[in-house]
Amino acid sequence: MEEIAMNQQKTKVISRKLILFPIPFQGHVTPMLHLANLLYSKSFSITIIQTRYSSLDPKCFPHFTFYSLDDEVSENKSFSSDNLVPGLVEMQENYREPFRVCLGRVLDGVEPGSEPFKCLIADSLWRFPGDVAESFNLRRIAFRTSSMSAFVVNDYLPYFKDKGYFLQGSEPEEPLHEIPPFRVKDLPGEDHHDILAFVVHQTKTSQGVICNSFEELESPSITRVREILSIPVYPIGPLHKYSPTSASSILTEDHTSISWLDKQPPNSVLYVSFGSMAAISSTDFLEIAWALANSKQPFLWVVRPGLSQCPLPEDYMEIVKDRGHIVKWAPQVEVLAHSAIGGFWTHCGWNSTIESISEGVPMLCLPFFVDQAMNARHVSETWKTGLVLENGIRRDEIEKGIRRLMVEEEGEAMRSRAASFKKLATQCLMDGGSSYKALDALISYLLAS
Ligand code: UDP
């Protein structure tokens, strides 16, 4: 792939063994697999410890070694925005001991005289790898799948709590002067604070942090994270540019998305997807459906099973005719890179945000939870490559937003700024670019014994 060719760095060919431990959610597994492929391409040997829930098929990744946790969490469980917090708490409780046992098995399996495992790379959302790795005297690097500014905000949360920002009566529009451009309403809800405090702790106690971001995108936050942490920080993204990973998809990608886009004029289509976890009410679902129909803009809409319990109105496809194409799951990166795409209506999960920025696609932002409102705020106010639906899900408001993004001059200006970010996202991976250098530094760290 062209992107891989861009990053063919001259590294010593030593097969150093690494263990990777992803969180089994789409937005976490995909970037971890990009990282795994990238490090494999740099001659590292990769062992992946995975949960039974939402496990990857090892046959699709013959170049990796897989170990599975002997855990109690049902393989048929489903996680969504509705049950994410209790789900995560349950996972953390149920996976700690199986992980300890499994890591022991992996380390014991090393042939006498051969290279030992030197480092565990664990998603920073896991609570327990720090203690467990320490008990085995194993180095640990935290892998962040969210933005660096979200980390800065997470670190500030106890301070903001003391300031009363989460009490009833606080002013949602109040700007947070400590961390511009955020407002009180962009902060993660209190039900997530416990989880986020563990993320901060796991990151602070690791020996390094890898993040799916790049200097040109988040320079002030990356600088701030370096001040907060006394460990190396490696912003090596955008990771999806290194390798395709459709094999990590939780759902089958519908390639009619691409054949349908092939028939559309350049920059004409609004791509609509709210990621792998958002669950919305029937009322909201219908508002979205009618806003898309009434906007008269061509759209490609991902209606994932679980997005809503509400069916589309019976005559919906007759009304939108060829102007709309609906799929259960799309090859998103390929879709965003398609010349027919003119905008992305997104929930602003970090992967979707960075994928959109790297492909030069402006965004209409409808954040749901945790870091999404912060990502959306950066899109609209820092990078100025999109706009936020500030007043929730109302068809007239959405229609207006779609027109501003897809038809009006304002949208054209956002598209042109997005094109500049696309250039930056490509350049940072090239020889001498910021992510290229960060990757070089990461490899040197991993090779050092
Ligand atoms: N995605 C995809 N096809 C779809 C919808 C999403 O491949 O139809 C991918 C998308 O490219 C991204 C991931 O799923 O890599 C979603 O991650 P994100 O952080 O944006 O949101 P989350 O699912 O974690 O809320």
Question: Predicted confidence band at 74 (pLDDT cuts at 50, 70, 90)?
Answer: low
Same domain, 356 and 437: no
- Residues 194-223: pLDDT tens digits? 999 999 999 999 999 999 999 999 999 999
- How many structural domains comprise the chain? 2
Q: Angle at the Cα of 230 (from 179 to 378), degrees rounded to 5?
A: 25
d(CA 405, CA 386): 7
pLDDT in the model for residue 9 = 45
d(CA 384, CA 376): 10
Q: Which amino acid is at 281?
A: S
Residue 219 has, within 13 A of its CA and on its CB side, a CA count of 6
d(CA 190, CA 314): 39
CA 329 to centroid of ligand 1, rounded, Å: 9
Q: Is 184 among the domain residues?
A: yes
Which pair of structure tokens corresponds to residue 41? 């391409």
84 pLDDT above the threshold of 90: no
d(CA 144, CA 28): 9
d(CA 155, CA 232): 17
297 pLDDT above the threshold of 90: yes
Same domain, 264 and 186: no
Question: Predicted confidence band at 129 (pLDDT cuts at 50, 70, 90)?
Answer: very high
- CATH number of domain containing 290: 3.40.50.2000
Give the three-class secondary structure for 331: coil
Where are the strands (E) in 95-158, listed by range? Answer: 117-123, 139-144
Question: Predicted confidence band at 12 (pLDDT cuts at 50, 70, 90)?
Answer: very low
Q: Is 321 among the domain residues?
A: yes
13 pLDDT above the threshold of 60: no
A 10 A CB-CB count for 416 gives 12
d(CA 60, CA 240): 18
Same domain, 263 and 297: yes
Same domain, 109 and 127: yes
Where are the strands (E) in 184-323, listed by range? Answer: 209-211, 233-235, 269-273, 299-302
Map tokens 């679980």 to a residue: 306
Within 6 Å (CB) of ligand 1, which residues are found? 26-27, 30, 249, 273, 275-277, 302, 329-330, 332-333, 349-352, 355
Same domain, 33 and 148: yes
pLDDT in the model for residue 2 = 41
Mutate to test the pocket of ligand 1, among 253, 271, 276, 345 (most ligand atoms within 8 A of CB): 276
CA 156 to centroid of ligand 1, rounded, Å: 27
Same domain, 376 and 408: yes
* More confident of the two residues 388 and 110: 388
> Which is nearest to 153 in space by CA: 374, 379, 376, 390?
374
d(CA 25, CA 81): 12
- Residues 19-30: pLDDT tens digits? 999 999 999 999
Burial 34-69 (b: 16+ CB within 10 A, else e): bbbbbbbbbebebbbbbbebbebeeeebeebbebeb
Residues in contact with 423: Cβ distance below 8 Å, sequence separation at least 6, in sequence order: none
Which pair of structure tokens corresponds to residue 222? 């990356």
35-49, 159-173, 269-283 — which is least confidently predicted?
159-173
CA 414 to centroid of ligand 1, rounded, Å: 22
Where are the strands (E) in 182-303, listed by range? Answer: 209-211, 233-235, 269-273, 299-302
Q: Which amino acid is at 340?
A: A
pLDDT in the model for residue 206 = 96
Q: Is 5 among the domain residues?
A: no
Q: Is 6 among the domain residues?
A: no
User: Which ligand 1 atom lies nearest to the CA of residue 304?
Assistant: 8
d(CA 417, CA 426): 15
User: Which ligand 1 atom lies nearest to the CA of residue 302?
Assistant: 8
User: Which ligand 1 atom lies nearest to the CA of residue 81?
Assistant: 25
Report the nearest-CA residue for atom 5 of ligand 1: 275
CA 258 to centroid of ligand 1, rounded, Å: 17
CA 98 to centroid of ligand 1, rounded, Å: 28
How many percent of the chain have pLDDT more than 70?
95
Q: Ramachandran region of residue 338, left (φ > 0), alpha (ψ -120 to 50) or beta? A: beta
**Helix spans in 165-214 (H):** 193-204
- Residues 401-443: pLDDT tens digits? 999 999 999 999 999 999 999 999 999 999 999 999 999 999 9
Which pair of structure tokens corresponds to residue 433? 């670019």
Mutate to test the pocket of ligand 1, among 332, 338, 346, 363 (most ligand atoms within 8 A of CB): 332
249 pLDDT above the threshold of 90: no
Where are the strands (E) in 244-323, listed by range? Answer: 269-273, 299-302
Same domain, 67 and 172: yes
How many percent of the chain have pLDDT more than 90?
78
Domain that holds residue 434: 14-246+430-447
CA 213 to centroid of ligand 1, rounded, Å: 16
Q: Which amino acid is at 399?
A: E
Same domain, 319 and 179: no
Q: Is 313 among the domain residues?
A: yes
Same domain, 240 and 274: no
User: Which ligand 1 atom lies nearest to the CA of residue 372?
Assistant: 25
